Amino acid sequence: MTDPRLDALRHAAPALRLKTDPADLEHYGRDWTRRWTPAPLAIALPGDVEEVQAVVRWARAQGIALVPSGGRTGLSGGAVAAAGEIVVSLERMNRALEFDPIDRTLTVQAGMPLEALHNAAREHGLQYPVDFAARGSCTIGGNIATNAGGIRVIRYGNTREWIAGLKVVTGAGEVLHLNRGLIKNSSGYDLRQLFVGSEGTLGIVVEATVRLTDPPPPSNVMLLALPSFDVLMKVFAAFRERLQLEAFEFFTGRALHHVLAHGAQPPFAEMHPYYVVTEFAIGDEAREAAAMAAFEHCLEQGWVGDGVISQSDAQAAQLWRLREGITEALARHKPYKNDVSVRVSRMPAFLEETQALLGRAYPDFDVVWFGHIGDGNLHINVLKPEGLDDAVFVRQCEDVTRLLAQSLARHEGSISAEHGIGLVKKGYLESTRSAAEIAVMRGIRGVLDPDGIMNPGKLFDLL
């Protein structure tokens, strides 16, 4: 017997695809966090904007919560449906709609995977530059909702910088067509940017017009082995001073240990405590000389113990795999993830304080550090020891996160640099945002989602 409320939905949108099989409820009800047991009422898979609108209007009338859903690669529990919600999956709305060569924009449906967007841009001889390891599964809608960052922020910025226009269905069921691809538009509040990073709490992004840019320059990838943590920012300064950096990423020997255990090949004869993978533009002798000068300077200073530079695209991919493979390699250890940021200028002091704090707080756990150090963004993953109860582990980690949040507040940093707040970091939002800011966000949410149906329980609680 089907739920009578779903019969009403079928009546409102007769062609809407709905899934209610237990396997589907489980599949679509979770993201990468795996901390909550999925329990949605059903999965709606709209095929166009009108069907999205029909679902929202029906949900308002029935008082049923909606969880917008992209590729469910999110790391903050934003797409989790564990309380009888309807998951609104955009997976059928995944097409490119319009390319404009003069504006250099591409309009796509929100369910398009990031990698498909990269390919579509390349077909037009251009580039969509936001990039990270989940590219094959995550969607542009999810990227917008989390303001995703990734490995090229140092050069190109976050998702926010690349959104020229959005079409959204608000929690009130209205369709808004925001900014319409304009470069200049001083006509009041930029509602488009409100939706970037809104984590599905204001409405559903159904279409995005993204800016494209010149294809990436020819580049080389260099892997560096570092003897200690305190030279990290010095190596960064040495490379940034001399080169046009496309990426500057860091990881620890513990991270490499897990990636190697997952099947990667060791880059050097010996293991080192810290590593950097950096990519920079080449193409002329001056740039190549600058790369060698940066490396030699670091070597002379004793900041770098070993290094390798890619000689082919295949080798560049192999070096990148050492950094990009970390998340998958750690997944079986059920990591507790921190995704924190401070201004780059604050990084040395913050790193020193955090290292001391975590050394005291986590004496027995395997703590794996990596991240986008050139953007001031650190990922600190704590691995669950085998045999330790999941809930006890999370509780112990949360005790440390409270201290980390206090440190971030002192350094004026953020408890979430790029993954979003979702369920995972909701309790710490106040370390990053003032009470006055949260009150304004609550007010905005009330206007765009008057009945509180959009992803309730995520980001902050409705009062």
141 counts as binding ligand FAD under rule CB under 6 A: yes
- The smaller minimum CB distance to ligand MLT, of residues 411 and 419, is found at 419
Query: In the beta sheet, which residues pair with residue 383?
Result: 366
CB 449, CB 202: distance < 8 Å: yes
> How many C-alpha atoms does 400 have within 13 Å on its Cβ side?
22
At its nearest, how many Å lie between ligand MLT and the CB of residue 66?
A: 26
User: Residues 19-58 vs ligand FAD: string with x where CB under 6 A?
Assistant: ------------xx--------------------------
Residues in binding contact with ligand MLT, number by CB under 6 A:
8
- The smaller minimum CB distance to ligand MLT, of residues 126 and 404, is found at 404
Sheet holding 86-89, edge to edge: 17-19, 42-45, 86-89, 66-69
Which residue among 105, 139, 310, 354 contacts ligand FAD (CB under 6 A)?
A: 139
CB 49, CB 177: distance < 8 Å: no
3-state secondary structure of 373: helix
At its nearest, how many Å lie between ligand FAD and the CB of residue 286?
A: 31
- The smaller minimum CB distance to ligand MLT, of residues 53 and 327, is found at 327
Q: List Cα–Cα distances, 103 to 122, 199, 229, 294, 416, in angstroms.
A: 16, 28, 44, 38, 33
Query: In the beta sheet, which residues pair with residue 62?
Result: none
Task: Count other C-beta atoms under 10 Å from residue 453's C-beta.
Answer: 21
At its nearest, how many Å lie between ligand FAD and the CB of residue 99?
A: 21
- Chain residue whose CB lies nearest ligand MLT: 327
379 binds, among ligand FAD, ligand MLT, none (CB under 5 to 8 A by kind): ligand MLT
Window of 10-18, 199-207, 221-229, 242-250 that interacts with ligand FAD by CB under 6 A: 199-207
At its nearest, how many Å lie between ligand FAD and the CB of residue 363?
A: 28
Sheet holding 96-100, edge to edge: 96-100, 105-109, 203-211, 163-170, 175-178
133 counts as binding ligand MLT under rule CB under 6 A: yes
What are φ and ψ of residue 169, in 5° steps?
-105, 115
Q: Token pair of 200, please?
A: 């599905």
User: Residues 322-361 vs ligand MLT: string with x where CB under 6 A?
Assistant: ----xx---------x-x----------------------
User: Residues 56-85 vs ligand FAD: string with x where CB under 6 A?
Assistant: -----------xxxxxxxxx--xx------
Site for ligand FAD in 384-423 (CB under 6 A): 418-419, 422
- In sequence order, the 6+-apart residues with CB closer than 8 A to the CB of 83 are 39, 65, 457
Q: List Cα–Cα distances, 111 to 82, 131, 180, 191, in angstroms.
A: 22, 16, 19, 21
242 binds, among ligand FAD, ligand MLT, none (CB under 5 to 8 A by kind): none
**Whole-angstrom distance, CA of residue 161 vs CA of residue 153:** 10
73 counts as binding ligand MLT under rule CB under 6 A: no
Q: Token pair of 177, please?
A: 């067509």
- The smaller minimum CB distance to ligand FAD, of residues 32 and 336, is found at 32
Residues that bind ligand FAD (CB under 6 A): 31-32, 67-75, 78-79, 90, 110, 132-134, 138-139, 141-143, 145-146, 148-150, 199-200, 204-205, 327-328, 418-419, 422, 455, 458
